[in-house]
Structure 1
Amino acid sequence: MTAPVRKGRLLTDASRLRRLTVHGWFLVMIAALTVLTAVCAVTGAVMIDRTSSLSDQLTTRISPAAIEASQMQKALIDQETGVRGFLLTGREEFLQPYAEGLAAERRSRAQVAADIADRPGLLRELNTISAKAAAWRSEYAEPMTAERRDGGTVPAAAVEAGKRAFDEIRVLLERQNSRLAQLRVTSRDELSQAERVRNWAFLAMLVLFPLAMVGMAVLLRRAIGRPLDQLRIASREIAAGDFERVIPARGPADIREVAEDVDLMRVRIVQALGDSHRQQVQLREQAADLDAQAVELRRSNAELEQFAYVASHDLQEPLRKVATFCQLLEKRYGEVLDERGKQYIRFAVDGATRMQVLINDLLRFSRVGRVYDDREPVDLGESLEKVIDDLSAPIEESGASFERPDKLPTIVGDPTMLRLLWQNLISNAIKFHDPARAPLIRIGCEPDEDGWKFSVSDNGIGVEPEFADKIFVIFQRLHSREQYSGTGIGLAMCKKIVENHGGRIWLDTGYTGGARLCFTLPASTVPARSGTEHEGSSS
């Protein structure tokens, strides 16, 4: 494998490790611990099984086979001894060891064959011994014993041949016993070796398992604990005011994400602090500008108050003189003046009077929200009653009647301005009535999402929808002075009063049969007496 390939694989492995989260690291550690435990368990099981197998083989097969082989050898020797004794003496009791040895040989041979069944070499030798023993019995032992039993004499050559045949069996038996003994020694050595390997394996597991646990703990500490400590230390330094401290993004993926998010929060806090500092500087500058403007406004208000004083006294004084002297002129020299001269005098008096009214209306308009700005609970029902009393003369003259709720709410506002609001709206309803019928003025009140909604409706001449905005502009008139008197300030003043109290006013363009002006006023914290649309007429 070339160096670039190895380097690429290392980078790939490192990238995979960097993508691991804390949960992933714990899963990896648990998997590694599980694999290690499984390997140790399998190794221990294999070692135990190996030693158990060798021990069982030695104790239940090899050692019994060696013992039974010795018993088989003894049984064959007993057979040969019995035959030899019978041939020498001819006595039948010497054949008893032969018969017993034959039975013992068969038992031992079967047991040895069962014990060495998995060892073909030893089994072949056992079969060879059994075959030669059977041949010795059939060719020598049984014929010679039969001949001796019949009273004959067994030739010495036959006896010698039988002896040589049995010596071959004896050699095979010695070799088999030697091989079984060697197998027994080898099995013992293998068992001892397996036990040593098993003991070393268990010792290695006892040492390796704690070392693996320590290694995993160190790895978790380096992979998870240390990045968390760095994140905690950096966060505390930032909390202490070191906002330039960069939070390191190390460790598992989720810890790096947390560190990056916290560092992003730090950057945004730094930006917010910078913006806040700049805003504070800007606010201080604006406060200084506002202070300067407040000083200028106070100076301007003082000048405006001075102008109001001049307008209410100094400007009106010449107008009063003009009107007074014109009236005196008409009274003293009226006899010598013709009708046109008298008309000119009336024009002068009327102009001076209208000029006084206009100046007074302008003064009231300029004082809305500036001079008249007291805030106190105002019972709108009582305020409306006072206005109706003040307008009793034009009401009686026009024959106007009212429909209004029994109760109107209490709001926080300026009592003078709210009274002026009712006065202008009702005065307009009386002024612009239909000559063919007596004025009918309806006062409405209902709760609104922003407070209270009021309406003043009449059955007068009405207002065209295209003039819905124009009627609230100062000095804007829809009729000539010859038709309807006035200065064109009334509804503009109503709009200023309503807006100064946080409401709005508009013309209901969908209303027919007259005009309906609606306005809203915010509800106050003072418990208001809720007004319902209860109608009751009063003249």
Structure 2
Amino acid sequence: MTGDETLSRPRGLSSWTTSRWLRVGVAASLALLTALGLIGAWVLGRTASLSDDLVDVRSQALGTSFRLESAMLNQETGVRGYGLTGNPEFLTPYRQGIAEQTADTASLSRLLNGNPRGLADLRAVQDAVETWQARIARPIAAAPAGTPSALATERASEGKADFDRVRTALTGQQERLRADQSRAREDLDSTMRTRNWVFAAIALVILALAGLVFEALRRGVTDPLGQLGIDVRAVSEGEFTRPIAATGPADLRRLSGEIDVMRQRLVQELEVSEESRRLLDTQTAELQRSNSELEQFAYVASHDLQEPLRKVSSFTQLLQRRYAGQLDDKADQYIGFAVDGANRMQVLINDLLDFSRVGRVHHAHQSVDLGSVVEETLSAMSVTIEETGAQVTCDKLPSLVADPTQMGMLWQNLIGNAVKFRRPGHQPRIRVTAAEEGPLWRFTVTDDGIGIAPQYAEKVFVIFQRLHTKDVYSGSGIGLAMCKKIVEFHGGTIAVDPDYTDGTRITFTLAEAPPSISGPAANSEAAGPDHAEPTP
């Protein structure tokens, strides 16, 4: 195993993730709280048990012992009064004392159950009571009423001694019950103090545990996440060279490491992007310079070609007029070829100039009523339309921000093509429509002419591309290429509708306002004449 692999695999507590720390912390906290809860429950139970024993057993047993003593006093008083007077009324407290003695003795037996010393004291009291009742109380109570009992006089000394033993037994019992009550009260007080200390300790432990959990979360989660957030914000604000600190549990360190790797890749991509941007800027500057030179060359070349081309055309036409029929047929044919070539060359130069001016010379954008532009176009083509019998219908067209000259060239080329490429002997029918599609307007120019085969749907928009020879249809093959350039200059697209088969349907889109013009735009005065001079 390499050193890097060893470093990449942390051991011990450093390998614990946030979830593992949380699980262990929660388990330990629950175990500690459970132990504290059990201790608290035991202390509460012990306190309640001692309190119940003190109130329900010790104190009640002592009170019952006092009531037993009172019952015995009632018996002794009643028996002694009956023995001295023979009055049966004195037997009432005696009999009531016997009933109370029986109830109190049974209550003490129940209360002292499980207390051998207390039961022994109770038996001693019962033995003393039984001795006194057998020797004194019952015999005297059984004597006839009405006269004093001789037995009371005879056994007066013995009765006093027996009842003193009863009192002594009761006093001993009460002293031990009082001592038991004092010990129980001391145990209860001690247990209550222990309970208070235990609950104070539980409260302190809970506070300490809460502080420990808070500090652990701060150090293990919030501080690392806060530092990670600071580093990420710094990187997002442009400090791409700032490293991401890896702190906290293993998963947070791993997350920080992955973010740092992403930052490093971002730095690399930015370096590549910056280099590409510099290269692109250089190429753009070179392309702008090249385009400027090509535009200047096109204007200069076309302007300089006008003069020699006019001379060639003029003199070939003069030769044709002056020597027509004087030379042989070959000479007349050659002269015709020269005149036709010069005229077509001049048409191509003028068309090329018009094509190069799109987006460069005419860019005076303003609100244009396309319906009026179409009417002007139809007016300019009125002779051709009348000769061919063409029927042109046009929907209501919108007003858009565009260059009016280019819009005129666009409609003239589209409607002109629809008229020119008609079927032989057929009066063409042309329809112009417009429909709004979101931020754009879609226009269509539909005719019932010869149509365009699907395989040529894109080729027809390439400059100087012709689908027919000049003998069949005249023209330079630049019309649809110019339409495409005008539409794209105004932020739209143009295409042949492949689903329409009864002729040709050209569809194009225009925005309500064209995109802003970027780059240098030459004007006609700087680059050359706006229009070529007419051929003589």
Instruction: Bin the TM-score by the shorter chain.
Output: 0.7 to 0.9
Secondary structure of the 1:503 match is coil
What CA deviation, in whole Å up to 9, does each residue of 1:117-170 have, x standing for no partner? 143764696478548845778989979x99x99xxxx9xxx999x869x95x77
Whether the 8 Å CA contact 1:387–1:419 is kept in 2: the answer is: yes
2:456 to 461, 467, 474: 467
1:65 to 65, 68, 74: 68
Whether the 8 Å CA contact 1:410–1:524 is kept in 2: the answer is: no
In structure 1, what is the Cα distance between the partners aligned to 2:190 and 2:21? 35
In the alignment, which residue of structure 2 is the partner of 1:500? 489
Q: 1:237 to 1:471 in 2, by over 3 A?
A: closer
Offset at residue 113 of structure 1 (A): 2.1
In the alignment, which residue of structure 2 is the partner of 1:388? 378
Moved more, 439-448 or 232-241: 232-241
2:441 to 436, 446, 452: 452
Q: 1:393 to 1:180 in 2, by over 3 A?
A: same
Secondary structure of the 1:116 match is helix
1:487 to 449, 466, 476: 476
Whether the 8 Å CA contact 1:429–1:460 is kept in 2: the answer is: yes
Amino acid at match of 1:313: H
Moved more, 460-469 or 364-373: 364-373
Offset at residue 456 of structure 1 (A): 1.0
2:285 to 282, 295, 300: 295
Secondary structure of the 1:244 match is coil
**Aligned positions of 1:214-229 closer than 5 A:** 214-228=204-218
Amino acid at match of 1:400: A
1:359 aligned to 2:349? yes
Q: 1:372 to 1:342 in 2, by over 3 A?
A: same
Secondary structure of the 1:19 match is helix
TM-score w.r.t. length of structure 2: 0.73
In structure 2, what is the Cα distance between the partners aligned to 1:163 and 1:501? 145
Secondary structure of the 2:503 match is coil
Whether the 8 Å CA contact 1:70–1:177 is kept in 2: the answer is: no
In the alignment, which residue of structure 1 is the partner of 2:518? none
In structure 2, what is the Cα distance between the partners aligned to 1:314 and 1:159? 172
In the alignment, which residue of structure 2 is the partner of 1:12? none
Q: 1:105 to 1:434 in 2, by over 3 A?
A: same
Q: 1:270 to 1:386 in 2, by over 3 A?
A: farther
**Aligned positions of 1:20-419 closer than 5 A:** 41-54=44-57, 56-72=59-75, 82=83, 94=84, 96=86, 104-117=93-106, 118-119=108-109, 122=122, 126=126, 130=130, 133-134=133-134, 173-228=163-218, 231-238=221-228, 239=230, 244-249=244-249, 260=252, 270-271=260-261, 273-369=263-359, 375-406=365-396, 408-419=397-408
In structure 1, what is the Cα distance between the partners aligned to 2:439 and 2:138? 134
Amino acid at match of 1:470: K
Offset at residue 185 of structure 1 (A): 0.9
What CA deviation, in whole Å up to 9, does each residue of 1:508-532 have, x standing for no partner? 2333543221111123289xxxxxx
Amino acid at match of 1:108: G
Q: 1:284 to 1:135 in 2, by over 3 A?
A: closer
1:510 aligned to 2:499? yes
In structure 1, what is the Cα distance between the partners aligned to 2:279 and 2:482? 31
Whether the 8 Å CA contact 1:411–1:523 is kept in 2: the answer is: yes
Whether the 8 Å CA contact 1:330–1:342 is kept in 2: the answer is: yes
Q: Which runs of 5+ in 1 are unaligned?
A: 1-14, 83-93, 251-256, 527-539
1:18 aligned to 2:22? yes
Whether the 8 Å CA contact 1:51–1:195 is kept in 2: the answer is: yes
Offset at residue 363 of structure 1 (A): 3.9
Amino acid at match of 2:52: D
In structure 2, what is the Cα distance between the partners aligned to 1:172 and 1:17? 80
Matched-pair identity in % = 36
Secondary structure of the 1:352 match is helix
Whether the 8 Å CA contact 1:116–1:123 is kept in 2: the answer is: no
Secondary structure of the 2:282 match is helix
In structure 1, what is the Cα distance between the partners aligned to 2:419 and 2:68? 140
Whether the 8 Å CA contact 1:29–1:216 is kept in 2: the answer is: no
Whether the 8 Å CA contact 1:374–1:414 is kept in 2: the answer is: yes
Offset at residue 196 of structure 1 (A): 1.5
Offset at residue 457 of structure 1 (A): 1.6
Q: 1:269 to 1:423 in 2, by over 3 A?
A: farther
Offset at residue 396 of structure 1 (A): 3.4
What CA deviation, in whole Å up to 9, does each residue of 1:309-351 have, x standing for no partner? 3431333444333322221212222241234432321122112
> Considering only aligned residues, what root-mean-square deviation do their CA atoms show, in Å?
4.3
Offset at residue 245 of structure 1 (A): 3.1
Whether the 8 Å CA contact 1:373–1:414 is kept in 2: the answer is: yes
What CA deviation, in whole Å up to 9, does each residue of 1:426-485 have, x standing for no partner? 111111123323333221111123500101122322233443333333333332221111
Offset at residue 498 of structure 1 (A): 2.2
Amino acid at match of 1:185: E
Whether the 8 Å CA contact 1:113–1:123 is kept in 2: the answer is: no
Offset at residue 64 of structure 1 (A): 2.0
Amino acid at match of 2:63: T
Q: 1:361 to 1:109 in 2, by over 3 A?
A: same
Offset at residue 101 of structure 1 (A): 6.8
In structure 1, what is the Cα distance between the partners aligned to 2:364 and 2:354? 15
In the alignment, which residue of structure 2 is the partner of 1:530? none
Moved more, 397-406 or 481-490: 397-406
Q: 1:439 to 1:100 in 2, by over 3 A?
A: closer
- Equivalent residue pairs, number: 475
Whether the 8 Å CA contact 1:234–1:247 is kept in 2: the answer is: yes
In structure 1, what is the Cα distance between the partners aligned to 2:269 and 2:349? 45
Secondary structure of the 1:442 match is strand
Amino acid at match of 1:523: E
Moved more, 24-33 or 375-384: 24-33
In structure 1, what is the Cα distance between the partners aligned to 2:278 and 2:44? 83
Whether the 8 Å CA contact 1:54–1:190 is kept in 2: the answer is: no
Amino acid at match of 2:55: S
1:478 to 450, 467, 473: 467
Q: 1:414 to 1:236 in 2, by over 3 A?
A: same
In structure 2, what is the Cα distance between the partners aligned to 1:400 and 1:284? 59
Moved more, 301-310 or 119-128: 119-128
Offset at residue 95 of structure 1 (A): 5.4
In the alignment, which residue of structure 2 is the partner of 1:254? none
Q: Which runs of 5+ in 2 are unaligned?
A: 1-18, 110-118, 235-241, 516-536
